[in-house]
Amino acid sequence: MKKILTVVLVMLLVIALFGCTQNQKASDLNENDNNNEKIKIVTTLFPQYDFARQIAGDKADIALLLPPGAESHSFEPTPGDIITIGNADMFIYTGEYMEPWADRIIQSIENEKLNILDVSNGITLVKEEHDHDHEDEDHEHEDADHEHEDIDHEHEDEDHEHEDIDHEHEDEDHEHENEEHGHSHEYDPHIWTSPVIAKKMVDNIAASLCYVDPENASYYKENAENYKKQLDELDAEFSEIVKNGKHNKIYFGGRFALYYFTEEYGLEYMSAYDNCSSETEPSAHDIAKIIDEMKENKISVIYHEELTDPKISRSICEDTGAEMLLFHSCHNVSKDDFNKGVTYLDLMSQNAENLRKGLN
């Protein structure tokens, strides 16, 4: 009996140990062996997480701060998350308009060797739209004061306080309104929805990796170039779909995070929501307007976003007979997708398939 019990206990221990190694949670970085020479990277959202792992390969331990399945706009890091960031070699975040809490945390970190990357460096943000119906507008958006200075990708002759790339948080006056209730809505932070802009994000991450780990710089550069070729292929696929579509407008029942995507491919859109704020709700008039236009133009597809109950899209489907399809904005992924190793390219390829259906 004792022998059987011993065997069972050993098996349970093996299973437990195996389960603990399958996913890289943010807290796991604190528990890594001190002798592990891999660089430690903490990212806030899924796009940066996936871009970083495509570039760094097996040279880094990469953790996603946002728990899989969690809503990104209302996320606030825990004290444990802050410790994890402080123990990392690199911290990658989207920018002040997506993570208004980041600047406060950066100021509190005492790790002078921590490389901090605002991945929107060098990318001009646009103001969030407050018009549900975007049709052939002349978008001469004001450049944000947040326009980031270009990164010197060789990182030569730079004075890196906290190794922060051209982003001197100490000297900036960040007045983050409603900081406790989600990201600021002045500028749209969803830059990764455009595969073309995603390439710039990849360049920023690769440059930081080369600075932190110069011995493997050629490895990171090669991986980044190969990955950008895949993004080029994705871009070409979307361009082909839009070019050959029977119409040029998408209808969205969820919170709209696809401005950079629609702008990239010249698409019009109609959304039930003004933006991605979890505090906004569409009016009956807004929903009725979408329903009327879909019926008038015989539109067969209404899109919804990920990880939320698509109640508005479902309601529109019931009134129009349209098919409800997912257009994944890639903020985050479900626990199941995370465990399966789903990638940004996987999600965007599915978006391409669903877009083809919606434009034909």
Choose the most confident range, by mean pLDDT, from 19-23, 201-205, 251-255. Answer: 201-205
| Tens digits of residue pLDDT in 32-52 | 545 578 999 999 999 999 999
pLDDT, residue 270, reads: 96
Q: Is 287 in contact with 132 (CB distance < 8 Å)?
A: no
Report how far apart, in Å, the C-alpha atoms of 160 and of each of 112, 201, 208, 291, 350 are.
Answer: 9, 20, 12, 53, 40
CA–CA gap between residue 29 and residue 43 (Å, rounded): 12
Mean pLDDT, the chain, rounded, equals 83
* CB-CB contact of 202 with 193 (8 Å): no
Cα angle for residues 126, 45, 305 (degrees, 5° grid): 70
Three-state secondary-structure class, residue 73? coil
Domains of the chain: 25-123+156-230 (3.40.50.1980), 236-358 (3.40.50.1980)
Q: Model's pTM, two decimal places?
A: 0.80
Q: Which residue has the higher pLDDT, 169 or 84?
A: 84
Pairwise CA distance, residues 345 & 284, whole Å? 36
pLDDT tier at 78, thresholds 50, 70, 90? very high
CA gap 59, 38 in Å, rounded: 5
In the prediction, which pLDDT does 37 show? Answer: 84
Mean pLDDT confidence for 205-215: 98
